[in-house]
A = this chain, B = another copy of it.
């Protein structure tokens, strides 16, 4: 009995898991957003950092790293890049000269607004088939997932 060569590949065994759908959706959404941010010469990381700085002017690099869920060392080059492009500034905090207070420049504020508008436009297209209720239900369901870590 000859074992036949596979004609088409089925991912049914993986599609039974919700996590598979979430990871695939995330991958699509992430690559779409990366394309959207490209004209602004922003990557996911520089975009997230710029938005958080613009909306939380004066925060420290440590605080930003926590908010972004990355380690402090990995933030250094991200801030370097934003600073070299004069989108944010590192201000010494006179009351604690170890920390930098991160603040957006005017250009940083403007680029942040433009990039967020593009992000919103992208979302509108991606979510075109979902009404507001379905959109809220999606967010609620995603938030209802709980990590079984503390078990």
Contacts and interface: CB of A to CB of B under 8 A. Distances in A.
Nearest to A119: B17
A30 interface: yes
Contact of A144 (B57, B130, B142, B148): B130
A13 interface: yes
How many copies, total? 2
B55 A123 contact: no
Contact of A26 (B4, B10, B26): B26
Interface of A: 3-6, 9-14, 16-19, 21-33, 35, 48, 51-52, 54-60, 63-64, 66-67, 69, 93, 95, 101, 103, 116, 119-120, 122-123, 125-130, 134-135, 137-139, 141-149, 151
11 contacts: A3-B101, A5-B95, A6-B58, A9-B56, A10-B55, A18-B139, A19-B30, A22-B26, A32-B148, A125-B151, A126-B148
